[in-house]
């Protein structure tokens, strides 16, 4: 691994250094199979892709008719995504997930390697923000990483901890193993769909 000066994944500079140094082991270089299959059969709506990195999935959402926006707080990630998504580059926005306000109400948030990019003490804030951004019955859909290595990123979840964190706001509606993981996530990620509960 290159010798990076920034070791704090809470900062955009951490991620800038890794994109600028072409050290992106989480980057799968395309759209994962379960998302592609899901998009082929689901009705379109408004979607947000937080922490999009290279953002290949934005293209898949837009091509399937979704009004999708991809955000990232790292300027270098935004440049990478704008390059990767071609005609949809205007849908990539530089923004911090915790401050971003969508231009229209959302139906769906897509998750991949965003929760696990953040130290575990930030997770309650992430779940809270997902819940704030989604309406009742909205979907949080994508890939969740399970591991107990204290070091990261990626920071993996313990299953019970994730279920406990999510249970105040979401019901787990679908879960499957993943057959096309890249090396860092191999055998440790699950495809999951979480339905936003009625707000209390």
Ligand X SMILES: C[S@@+](CC[C@H](N)C(=O)[O-])C[C@H]1O[C@@H](n2cnc3c(N)ncnc32)[C@H](O)[C@@H]1O
State how far the Cα of 28 lies from the Cα of 121, in Å rounded to an integer: 26
156 near ligand X, rule: CB under 6 A: no
23 is a site residue for ligand X (CB under 6 A): no
Kindly state whether residue 170 participates in binding ligand X, applying the rule CB under 6 A.
no
According to the binding rule CB under 6 A, does residue 66 interact with ligand X?
no
Residue 38 touching ligand X (CB under 6 A): no
In angstroms, give the least distance from the CB of 129 to ligand X: 9
Rounded Cα distance between 197 and 200, Å, is 9
Q: How far is CA 23 from CA 16, 74, 190, in A?
A: 10, 14, 24
What are the structure tokens assigned to 156, written together?
A: 């993996």
74 part of the interface to ligand X, by CB under 6 A: yes
The mark string for 86-105 relative to ligand X (x by CB under 6 A, - otherwise) is ----------xxx-------
Q: Which residues pair with 139 in a beta bridge?
A: 108, 195
Of the candidates 109, 117, 133, 157, which one interacts with ligand X according to CB under 6 A? 117
Q: Does 112 bind ligand X (CB under 6 A)?
A: yes
* Under rule CB under 6 A, residue 61 binds ligand X: no
Number of residues that bind ligand X (CB under 6 A): 20
- Kindly list the strands in the beta sheet with 46-50, ordered across the sheet, starting from the edge strand earlier in the chain: 92-94, 67-72, 46-50, 108-112, 139-145, 189-196, 170-177
Query: Applying CB under 6 A, does 189 fall inside the site for ligand X?
Result: no
Would you count residue 51 as binding ligand X (CB under 6 A)? yes
Asked if 150 contacts 118 with a C-beta cutoff of 8 angstroms, the reply is no
- Cβ neighbours around 32 below 10 Å, total: 23
Q: Where are the alpha helices (DSSP H) in 24-176?
A: 33-41, 56-63, 75-85, 123-133, 159-166
**Using the rule CB under 6 A, is 190 a contact of ligand X?**
no
Interface with ligand X by CB under 6 A: which range of 47-55, 127-135, 169-177, 179-187?
Answer: 47-55
Instruction: Tell me the C-alpha distance between 72 and 26, whole Å.
Output: 15
Candidate residues 26, 170, 185, 191; the one interacting with ligand X per rule CB under 6 A: 26
Interacting residues with ligand X (CB under 6 A)? 15, 26-27, 50-54, 71-74, 77, 96-98, 112-114, 117
């Amino acid at each position: 691994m290159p010798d990076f000066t920034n070791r704090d994944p809470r900062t955009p500079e951490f991620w800038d250094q890794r994109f600028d140094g072409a050290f992106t082991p989480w980057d799968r270089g395309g759209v994962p199979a379960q998302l592609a299959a899901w998009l082929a059969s689901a009705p379109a709506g408004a979607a947000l892709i937080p922490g999009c990195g290279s953002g290949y999935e934005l293209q898949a959402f837009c091509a399937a008719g979704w009004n999708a926006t991809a955000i990232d707080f790292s300027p270098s990630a935004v440049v990478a995504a704008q390059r990767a998504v071609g005609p949809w580059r205007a849908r990539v926005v530089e923004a911090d997930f915790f401050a971003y306000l969508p231009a229209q109400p959302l139906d769906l948030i897509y998750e991949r390697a965003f929760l696990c990019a953040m130290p575990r003490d930030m997770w309650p804030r992430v779940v809270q923000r997902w819940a704030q951004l989604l309406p009742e019955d909205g979907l949080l859909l994508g890939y969740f990483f399970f591991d107990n290595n204290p070091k990261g990123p990626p920071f993996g979840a313990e299953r019970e901890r994730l279920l406990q964190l999510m249970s105040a706001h979401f019901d787990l509606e679908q879960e499957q193993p993943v057959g096309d993981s890249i090396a860092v996530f191999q055998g440790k990620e699950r495809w999951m769909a979480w339905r936003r509960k009625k707000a209390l």
